């Protein structure tokens, strides 16, 4: 089973990292790929380029076996559509189970993603929720794919929707960028090696 965790990672922080490790263990993943986007379709272009966001990710997971970075969205032209990413992973791994992990905030906009229904042709979708969080309302398409049995994800290679509670750390990259811009210390919200990288490259000092 291969996991996919996409994001801007501008910068990567413990909210991403803790949930990545938890789902890797919970779903018994051989590998979890953290995939920084080149151009996020739904938001402003990040001011820190993809190579730097990837560099920070690599520092963050250097000592976490089974968790790796994947640069395919940086190498692709145009907007980073998750459906294209999953399609290319599927082509490389025709028989593997694939799971796309997304936070509950990102899931709220899922139905506006490019060719979103096709995500389920290539992968399962697991929504990472806060413990005891209320289940969002689901469209008929999503309801048909919903399963409450994690074991089902191991019986098929794609097509299921599952909700998984993970440790909720109230950390966001936006808040980290704002702290740094205000001259405050972001330590303990993200790895020290990433903070050192940010300082070395003078990132997030002037704009968001
Ligand atoms: P920003 O503040 O710039 O919007 P972010 O911190 O939300 O960034 P992204 O890179 O946009 O991070 O998020 C990538 C994925 O990580 C999304 O699926 C998002 O839901 C999830 N995520 C972000 N922060 C957390 C967190 N604290 N706990 C769990 N998941 C998170």
pLDDT band at 136, cuts 50/70/90? confident
| Atom of ligand 1 at shortest range from CA of 169 | 27
User: Which has more pLDDT, 136 or 125?
Assistant: 125
Check if 179 has its Cβ closer than 6 Å to any atom of ligand 1: no
Cβ pair 186, 179 in contact under 8 A: yes
Pocket test for ligand 1, best of 6, 12, 15 (most atoms within 8 A of CB): 15
User: What mean pLDDT is predicted for residues 15-30?
Assistant: 97
Output b/e per residue, 86-110; b: 16+ Cβ within 10 A.
Answer: bbebbeeeeebbbbbbbbbebbeeb
Q: How far is the CA of 7 from the centre of ligand 1 (A)?
A: 7
Written out in words, the top-level CATH class of the domain with range 2-169 is alpha beta
208: pLDDT strictly greater than 60: no
pTM: 0.94
pLDDT band at 41, cuts 50/70/90? low
User: What mean pLDDT is predicted for residues 46-51?
Assistant: 85
The ipTM assigned to this model is 0.95
Check if 128 has its Cβ closer than 6 Å to any atom of ligand 1: yes
What is the CB neighbour count within 10 angstroms for residue 66? Answer: 14
**DSSP reduced 3-state for 164:** strand
Check if 36 has its Cβ closer than 6 Å to any atom of ligand 1: no
Tell me the per-residue pLDDT of 78-114, one tens digit each, with 9 for 90 and over. 889 999 999 999 999 999 999 999 999 999 999 999 9
């Amino acid at each position: 089973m291969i996991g996919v965790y996409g994001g801007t990672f501008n910068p990567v922080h413990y909210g991403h990292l803790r949930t990545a490790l938890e789902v890797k263990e919970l779903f018994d993943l051989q590998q979890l790929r953290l995939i920084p986007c080149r151009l996020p379709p739904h938001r402003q272009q990040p001011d820190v380029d993809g190579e730097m966001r990837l560099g920070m990710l690599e520092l963050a997971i250097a000592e976490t076996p089974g968790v790796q970075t994947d640069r395919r969205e940086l190498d692709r032209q145009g907007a980073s559509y998750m459906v294209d990413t999953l399609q290319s992973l599927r082509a490389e791994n025709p028989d593997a189970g694939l799971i796309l992990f997304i936070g509950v905030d990102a899931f709220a906009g899922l139905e506006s993603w490019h060719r979103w229904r096709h995500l389920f042709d290539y992968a399962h979708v697991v929504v990472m929720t806060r413990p005891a969080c209320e289940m969002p309302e689901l469209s008929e398409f999503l309801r048909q794919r919903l399963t409450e049995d994690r074991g089902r994800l191991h019986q098929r290679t794609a097509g299921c929707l599952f909700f998984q509670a993970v440790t909720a750390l109230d950390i966001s990259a936006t808040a980290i960028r704002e702290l740094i811009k205000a001259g405050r210390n972001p330590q303990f919200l993200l790895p020290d090696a990433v903070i050192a990288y940010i300082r070395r490259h003078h990132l997030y000092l002037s704009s968001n």
